[in-house]
Amino acid sequence: MFDLDGTLLAWDCQLLFRHFILRRQPWRQVFLPLFLIAAPFHFLLGDARLKRVFLAFLTGMDRDRLASHARDFAAAVRPAIYPEMSDRVEHHRRNGDLLVLASASPEFYVAEIGKSLGFDLVLGTMVETGPKFPLFPPLENHKGEAKVRRIREILPGSWFQDGKFARAHGYTDSRADLPMLGLCEGATVVNPSPALAALAEENGWTIVRPRRPWTSAAGRVWRTLALLFGIGRDPGGLGLRNPRLGTGAFSV
């Protein structure tokens, strides 16, 4: 079971998708003030409501155009997958393992990314788009315990033994996925925070540290702002990696 954002690639895909759309339709930047006003009130709004505000930049887009952008975005993101994690996905595929991608990013593009990577089951935040994308789309935030509930709803109950998904291995970069890792017999954490690294050492999980596309905290902040504001051709560094030729540093 794989997380996506920060696990298979360095960035939150919501930022990458926003930049991808703004490069094609710069006028959609007019919705940014809504998010900038709402963001300081995250503690009141919560993740799901703030995500609804963030997605306002897609307002009015018809379903077919959104699907087309999602397919193109998946192709653009593919080279940015950490080479080491691409190898892990391929390793499980060769072993005949069931590949599950469970992300908090919107499913309308996570599904395309998962398809391009060969996942068997792809789950993301379900967003009600309708014929035209609404200003603040209703959604079910697919994060934390929500991932576990949905996985249990979809997969046969006989596959779970004593609360575990038999012989499963989980991959994540975030403590938010601890409920998902709780289903697994083994785990790998990717570029973990100090707190997650401590948990990994305590539980005997593998720690991997692929090279990120930024070299300093300031560089990360600049790239994040560039993605948010639609600045530059490729601030996410999507064109800098190749899943077979990349040079990311991998340490255990």
Q: For residue 205, give Cα distances in angstroms to 4, 172, 182, 198.
A: 18, 11, 12, 10
Structure tokens at 68: 């087309």
Confidence check: pLDDT of 24 > 80: yes
- CA 180, CA 245: separation in Å to the nearest integer? 31
CB 80 within 8 A of CB 10: yes
Gyration radius from the chain CA atoms: 18
- CA 28, CA 229: separation in Å to the nearest integer? 10
Confidence check: pLDDT of 94 > 70: yes
Domains, the chain: 13-127+140-154+162-240 (3.40.50.1000)
Confidence check: pLDDT of 112 > 70: yes
What is residue 22's predicted lDDT score, i.e. its pLDDT? 97
What's the whole-model pTM score?
Answer: 0.92
- The DSSP bridge partners found for residue 208 are 190
E strand or H helix at 104: strand 100-106
